[in-house]
Amino acid sequence: MINTEKIVFFDGLCGLCDGSISLILKFDKNNILKYSSLQGKSGQVLLKKLNKDLKEFDTVIFKVNDQVYTKSTAVFKIIESIGGWIKVLLIFNLFPTKINDWIYSKIAKNRFKLFGKLDNCDISKFNIPGQFID
């Protein structure tokens, strides 16, 4: 796996995830984050290492060095990393993780119904060389 400090692993077929990556890219002005779909090689290696189902992509995963964050904690850590007015969303981090993860899981379970499912993961549309891993 590529030795990158901060990597966002996301479901490459999820409309919500795709839109979220677009939003993150707008705030990540210093290009400090790298991105990889969970369906890609690096994503599959990480899922295997975490003993997760290789076909279950129900959480964003944020890897910072050797630390791995999932669900709402990953979302808050990503927001902390990128800055901008989006940091106002960190107010929700005041709720217990158990509640935030419950909400996250409900949205994740229904994400295709609510936001659609893509035919494939097309990272070329982001047109940012070096930011996307496989």
Q: What percent of the chain has pLDDT over 70?
A: 86
Average pLDDT over residues 90-116: 90
What is the number of other CB atoms lying within 10 angstroms of the CB of residue 85?
7
- pLDDT of 47 reads 80
- Reported as a single tens digit per residue, the pLDDT across 61-85 is 999 988 999 999 999 999 999 988 9
- The helix (run of H) or strand (run of E) holding residue 68 is strand 67-70
DSSP helix/strand/coil, 119: coil
Average pLDDT over residues 108-113: 85
Whole-number Å distance between alpha carbons of 12 and 37: 5
Whole-number Å distance between alpha carbons of 101 and 118: 24
Spatial CA neighbour of 71 closest among 6, 116, 4, 11 = 11
Model pTM score: 0.83
- pLDDT of 121 reads 60
